[in-house]
Amino acid sequence: MKLLEEKILKEGKVLSSNVLKVDSFLNHQLDVAFINELGEEFKRLFAKEPINKILTIESSGIGIAALVAQHFDNCPVVFAKNKAGINHDGDFFHTKVESFTHKCVYNVMVSKAYLHPGDHVLIIDDFLAHGHAVIGLMDIVHQSGAVLEGVGIAIEKASQMGGSIIRKKGVHLESLAIIESMHDGVIKFKDNC
């Protein structure tokens, strides 16, 4: 998506050859009008799928998922939690996810009240790197008996392999911008996006 690529080039900061900072519109401040346009594009890309629920993971997925959900009819957002709160009651689906940013393994959970066998789920996240977050969410969808309709990612970093692992599983994965490399601070996108 040209618009996202231009925004990344204008506002993104390359922290190392494998970490991109996009705090000005996605990870600290949310550019709501802009993310709405990403939502419109996800709706176009997944128009044929009967999606009734969006699943993401706290915390950075929540903002984008909520704005994307507005483009789908009657579509709540469920976010996987990585900490048990004091109001942790009832039954949960659990999985383990290694955090890209914190390098530790979280026990991630979603209440059984919010995912059911009749659900048709779209997973949304801000970044796709090694794929741990998305693969963990796919595991939770599988445990719930819901149907995984697809995965929508704002920014995929192709050098970190998560995208190819997930595509090999036959999942309908759409990334709005695919970064091929960030050597010496120069961002190069994959040609076909």
Strands of 36-192 (E only): list them: 53-57, 77-80, 92-98, 105-111, 120-128, 147-157, 173-181, 188-189
- In the set 68, 123, 124, 128, which binds ligand 5GP (CB under 6 A)? 128
- In the set 12, 39, 63, 131, which binds ligand 5GP (CB under 6 A)? 131
Contact pattern for ligand 5GP over residues 48 through 67, marking x by CB under 6 A: ------------xx------
25 near ligand 5GP, rule: CB under 6 A: no
100 near ligand 5GP, rule: CB under 6 A: yes
Q: Which is nearer to ligand 5GP, 21 or 142 (CB)?
A: 21
Cα of 118 vs its chain's centroid, Å = 22
CA dist list (Å): 62 to 28, 41, 56, 168 = 12, 18, 6, 26
Instruction: Using alpha carbons only, give the angle 186, 24, 81 rounded to the nearest 5 degrees.
Output: 105
Instruction: Using alpha carbons only, give the angle 129, 138, 28 rounded to the nearest 5 degrees.
Output: 45
Q: Which is nearer to ligand 5GP, 48 or 131 (CB)?
A: 131
- In the set 4, 8, 20, 138, which binds ligand 5GP (CB under 6 A)? 20
- In the set 8, 126, 166, 176, which binds ligand 5GP (CB under 6 A)? 126
123 near ligand 5GP, rule: CB under 6 A: no
CA dist list (Å): 138 to 33, 63, 92, 115 = 29, 20, 15, 12
CB of 20 to ligand 5GP, least distance (A): 4
95 near ligand 5GP, rule: CB under 6 A: no
For residue 115, with 0-12 CB atoms within 10 Å meaning exposed, 13-18 middle and 19 or more buried, which class applies?
buried
120 near ligand 5GP, rule: CB under 6 A: no
Q: Where on the chain is the footprint of ligand 5GP (CB under 6 A)?
A: 19-21, 27, 60-61, 100-101, 125-133, 162
